[in-house]
Amino acid sequence: MNPLKSRKTLILLAGPGFIFLLCFFFLPLLYVLMESFRGVDNQITLSRYFDVLVDAQFQLVFKRTLRIALIVTPIAVLVGYPTAYYISKLKSKKKSILTTLVILPLMTSPVARTYAWIVILGKFGIVNETLTTLHIIAEPMRILYTETAIVLGLLQLFMPILILTVSSSLENVNSEVEEAALSLGSNRIGVFFRVVVPLSFEGLIMGVTLVFTGCFTAYVTPAILGGANVLTLSTLMREQALVLMNWESATVIAVIMIITTLILYNGIRAFRPRNMA
C-alpha cells in the first residue's frame, strides 16, 4: 500500500476515537484542572489546594482510600495471578468455561453485586448467622459499614479484571521458553518467577493499575458498603459537590485523585525488568 494512503487510512480509523476522547475526556479533564487553580477574580492560585490538604477530614479520608487500595491490589495479585496462570495452561474447552466464569460477574451490575454483600455481611446476614449458629461468636459482629466490607466488595469487583488482563498477557508466553528453562536446571518455582512473571509483566502492570485506580476512584461500592461514616475520596467528593455545594473542594479532590493514580502507575513501571524497558 502507498505510504500516503496508509497514513490517511490510519487517520480515518483513529480519527473518530481521538475526537471522542478529546471532546469527552481530555477537554473536561483540562477544564477541571484549570478550575482547581482558579481563585478570586480568575487569578491563578494554590489556595484551594492548601485549604483541602490541611483539612483533617481530607487527610483521614485520603489515608483510608489509599490504605484500602493498597490492601485490595496485592490480594488481587496474589489470588488472581496464579488463577490466570492456571487458566492459560488449560486446553481450549476448559479455558473457555473458566474464562466465562471469570467474565460472568462483570456482566452483573456493580450495584446489584454490592447490595448482595449486605445480605452476606449484615447484622443478620449469612456470615453472622453461620458464626452464631456454630457458636463461634456469641452475638453478631459489625462487618457491614466498615473498611473490611469495602475491601471485600472491591475485591469481588476488580479481581476478574486483573485475571483477564494477566491471562491475556500469559497467552503470549511461549511454553517452549519454560521448557528450555527447566532443561537448563531451573525448578518450577524458578521458572515461574524468573521467566513467566517477567514475560507477562506488562499485563501485570496494566492489571495492577486498573485494580488500584478502580479501588481508588470507586464510588458505588464504598458508598453502599461503607455508608456515611466510612468515607472514601469519591464519596467525600460527592458530599462536597452535591451536599455541601462546595464545588471548589470537589474539583481539587478530583485532581488529587488523578495525580495520585498517575504517580502510582509510573512508580509501578519503575520496577520493570531493565531488559524490558
- Mean of all residue pLDDT scores within the chain: 87
Report H helices in 125-219.
126-133, 147-170, 175-183, 188-191, 197-199, 201-217
Question: Using 50, 70 and 90 to split pLDDT, how confident is the model at 277?
Answer: very low
Cβ atoms of 162 and 82 within 8 Å: the answer is no
Q: Which residue intervals of the chain bear CATH 1.10.3720.10?
A: 49-276
C-beta separation of 168 from 88 below 8 A: no
What are the Cα distances from residue 84, in Å, to 181, 199, 206?
21, 14, 14
Predicted confidence band at 197 (pLDDT cuts at 50, 70, 90)?
Answer: confident
One-letter amino acid identity for 51? D
Length of the chain: 277
What confidence score (pLDDT) does residue 14 get?
84
Question: How far is Cα 85 from Cα 199, in angstroms, rounded to an integer?
Answer: 12
Residues contacting residue 267 through CB under 8 Å, at least 6 positions apart: none
Does the pLDDT of residue 108 top 90, yes or no? Answer: no
pTM of the predicted protein model: 0.86
C-alpha torsion angle, residues 155, 159, 161, 166 (rounded to 10):
150
Cell of 20: 471522542
Q: Report in angstroms the alpha-carbon separations of 41 from 47, 151, 196, 249, 255.
A: 13, 43, 57, 18, 21
Overall average pLDDT of the 269-277 stretch = 60
Task: Kindly report the CATH class assigned to 49-276.
Answer: mainly alpha
| Strand partners of residue 44 | 38
Q: Cα separations (Å) of 246 from 116, 125, 222? A: 33, 37, 21
Query: Does residue 30 surpass a pLDDT of 80?
Result: yes
Q: What percent of the chain has pLDDT over 70?
A: 96
Question: How far, in Å, CA of 217 to CA of 212, rounded?
Answer: 9
